[in-house]
Structure 1
Amino acid sequence: MLQEMKEFGSHAMDIYDYLVAGIDPRVKNHFLMQSPIPMTVILLCYLFFVLYLGPRIMANRKPFQLKEAMIVYNFALVALSIYIVYEFLMSGWATTYTWRCDAIDVSNSPQALRMVEVAWLFWFSKIIELMDTMFFVLRKKSGQITFLHIFHHSFMPWTWWWGVGYAPGGMGSFHAMVNSSVHVIMYFYYFLAAAGPRFQKFLWWKKYMTAIQLIQFVLVSLHVTQYYFMDSCDYQFPMIIHMVWVYGTFFFVLFSNFWVQAYVKGKRLPKQGIKTSQNGATAASSSAPTVYANGKHHENGLKHGTSNGTSNGSAHHENGSAPMGKMKKA
């Protein structure tokens, strides 16, 4: 038995060494990219905090308001997302890419290195977005911490680490650019929602957030679907294409269900008189995947209500956010 365990451990280490050796040398010196272990530990700590430690710490405490912190946080993510979209465009999508079968440029040319940088930055932004759930815990918005929300926020950073490590660029990066574009809109919405009641009148377009998410998944799925109809394509990592297609299709189905339930059948439409939080935003109790989507992924299905005609719900967050909270009952 002991010998078998040693052999298993030896094989596991061989596989680990093989996987680490395959990481693109251009990205290997970036923060948290030397090995999958640090980022896995971060995500496990995230899960431990949001599922166990955080709720217990907050159990007998009053919720933190964190209004100013949320305003700064959401505005910073708007700016970061704009920059990421611009860099994706300049490093290939608006310059040399065909928008069809685009292979990964493995050279050390300035444009290829620029794509490597923005691919890593996109991944690292997913680590930053773990703060979304932290805010929910500290504000005791447990209704927004759903399975889909947590799944999206932990699964997407983990899978994208491998995408950046092995395939920084090419047609597999299209969904990252689209997801970042959606995040510009999404976090701008959250920025307005966190700013207080005086900005509620500018949140009339909440419903269209779901439509934008659906368009995102359609674009992503259609783009990678091209791969299956090409006579030949020299994209180096077909597994990335398969994962993006499954991811986009999976979340399109979930968001479509939300759209039908909320806006066709009216089962999740906001009710008048919902109690609002002290920052003027309604506490939404739901979930949705983002991802993205990353598409966050991400949807942000946002559930909101009005109180005396002044409060328009606070959005939850992407790719695992607001609207899907009660989806399992649908």
Structure 2
Amino acid sequence: MRTPWPGIALLVFYLMVVLKWLPKYMEDRPAYNLRKLIALYNAVQIVCCAYVLYQSLRLGWLSHYSLVCQPLDYGPQADEYAWKVCYAYFLIKLADLFDTVFFVLRKKQNQVSFLHVYHHFGMVAVAWGMVKWLPGGHTSFLVSVNSFVHIIMYMYYLLTVWDDSYKQSLWWKKHVTQIQILQFSILLVHFCVLVVADECRFPRQPAYILIPQNLFMVILFSDFYYRTYIKAGKPIKDK
């Protein structure tokens, strides 16, 4: 965490792998069957996200943290929160990058969309910055919300691995996307509160980055939702 260069190098490597090198490698090869590996990966993600959610609630948001204005904690549990919540969350965001790798290896390059890659890239950067400068306090609320959402999301993914019928269920897909939109909307409001809160001893600078970031995510996910579940579902009228 001392310098950003290893993280930047990793993210550049990630982009090159999923957008150039791995797709080229897979051009003349059949898709890999990663069913068992992905099932294990999803199960591990559920357990890890549940652990981080539990620790974030136990050490902060269900004990002494305030939703309106939570300064950076320097109490007896501050180091524990930094390690068990913020740093563990950062490691999970690094592991999330395998989502894209699995898409490419299964020859599902259409799912490697701008939204998908931008979201994964951005969350690693945000998590790194949180651990580096503000491992706790107001902005760490995103850890609790995002971990809860990812528990639901990876449970859905695990179900689709074991039963292909879930992949065809628009009910499941639609609500997972709705939960994603709700997540970023909640976080958008949460960071806006930090800007307008009087005499809040938590730095406002992160909010100036995270407000447009979450607004952008709301717009991207809403656009995806409209194109996938509303526009695509409209009947085509005869000329």
- Determine the C-alpha separation between the residues in 2 that align with 1:50 and 1:125: 19
Alpha-carbon deviation of 1:186? 0.3
| Secondary structure at 1:68 match in 2 | helix
Alpha-carbon deviation of 1:253? 1.8
Stretches of structure 2 that go unaligned for 5 or more consecutive residues are: none
Which amino acid in 2 is paired with 1:178? Answer: V
Structure 1, 116-125 or 39-48: larger mean CA deviation: 39-48
| Secondary structure at 2:231 match in 1 | coil
Deviations 1:10-51 (A, max 9, x none): xxxxxxxxxxxxxxxxxxxxxxx2322222221121111112
Alignment match of 1:176 (pick from 143, 152, 155): 143
- Determine the C-alpha separation between the residues in 2 that align with 1:207 and 1:75: 22
Alignment match of 2:45 (pick from 77, 82, 98): 77
Which amino acid in 2 is paired with 1:123? Answer: F
Alpha-carbon deviation of 1:259? 3.0
Which amino acid in 1 is paired with 2:184? Answer: F
Match for residue 73 of structure 2? 105
Give me the TM-score of the superposition, normalised by structure 2: 0.90
Alpha-carbon deviation of 1:201? 8.7
Specify whether residues 127 and 138 from structure 1 end up closer, same or farther in structure 2 by C-alpha distance, changes over 3 A only: same
Specify whether residues 62 and 200 from structure 1 end up closer, same or farther in structure 2 by C-alpha distance, changes over 3 A only: closer
Q: Does 1:212 align with 2:176?
A: no
Match for residue 136 of structure 1? 103
Deviations 1:41-93 (A, max 9, x none): 21121111112110121111111010000101111111111111111101110
- Determine the C-alpha separation between the residues in 2 that align with 1:211 and 1:199: 17
Higher RCO, Cα 8 Å, sep 6+: 2
Alpha-carbon deviation of 1:148? 2.2
Alpha-carbon deviation of 1:119? 0.3
Alignment match of 2:116 (pick from 146, 149, 152): 149
Alpha-carbon deviation of 1:142? 0.8
Count of residue pairs the alignment pairs up: 234
Q: Is this contact kept in 2: 1:78–1:188, CA < 8 A?
A: yes
Specify whether residues 67 and 120 from structure 1 end up closer, same or farther in structure 2 by C-alpha distance, changes over 3 A only: same
Match for residue 293 of structure 1? none
Match for residue 28 of structure 1? none
Q: Does 1:197 align with 2:189?
A: no
- Determine the C-alpha separation between the residues in 2 that align with 1:51 and 1:200: 25
Alpha-carbon deviation of 1:254? 2.0
Between the two proteins, what is the percent identity of the paired residues? Answer: 35
Q: Is this contact kept in 2: 1:87–1:114, CA < 8 A?
A: no
Match for residue 152 of structure 2? 185
Which amino acid in 2 is paired with 1:216? Answer: Q
Structure number with larger C-alpha Rg: 1
Deviations 1:142-168 (A, max 9, x none): 111122221222222123212210000
- Determine the C-alpha separation between the residues in 2 that align with 1:204 and 1:217: 21
Alpha-carbon deviation of 1:188? 0.5
Q: Does 1:65 align with 2:65?
A: no
| Secondary structure at 2:2 match in 1 | coil
- Determine the C-alpha separation between the residues in 1 that align with 2:100 and 2:169: 25
Structure 1, 157-166 or 184-193: larger mean CA deviation: 157-166
- Determine the C-alpha separation between the residues in 1 that align with 2:56 and 2:124: 18
Alpha-carbon deviation of 1:270? 10
Alpha-carbon deviation of 1:267? 2.3
Which amino acid in 1 is paired with 2:47? Answer: A
Alpha-carbon deviation of 1:199? 6.0
Alpha-carbon deviation of 1:128? 0.3
| Secondary structure at 1:216 match in 2 | helix
- Determine the C-alpha separation between the residues in 1 that align with 2:216 and 2:167: 32
1:1-330 pair list within 5 angstroms: 33-107=1-75, 109=76, 111-117=77-83, 118-197=85-164, 204-235=171-202, 237-263=203-229, 266-269=230-233
- Determine the C-alpha separation between the residues in 2 that align with 1:259 and 1:233: 36
Give me the TM-score of the superposition, normalised by structure 1: 0.66
| Secondary structure at 1:35 match in 2 | coil
- Determine the C-alpha separation between the residues in 1 that align with 2:74 and 2:104: 42
Q: Is this contact kept in 2: 1:103–1:170, CA < 8 A?
A: yes
- Determine the C-alpha separation between the residues in 2 that align with 1:161 and 1:52: 25
Q: Is this contact kept in 2: 1:192–1:203, CA < 8 A?
A: no
Which amino acid in 2 is paired with 1:243? Answer: I
Specify whether residues 116 and 64 from structure 1 end up closer, same or farther in structure 2 by C-alpha distance, changes over 3 A only: same
Q: Is this contact kept in 2: 1:193–1:203, CA < 8 A?
A: no
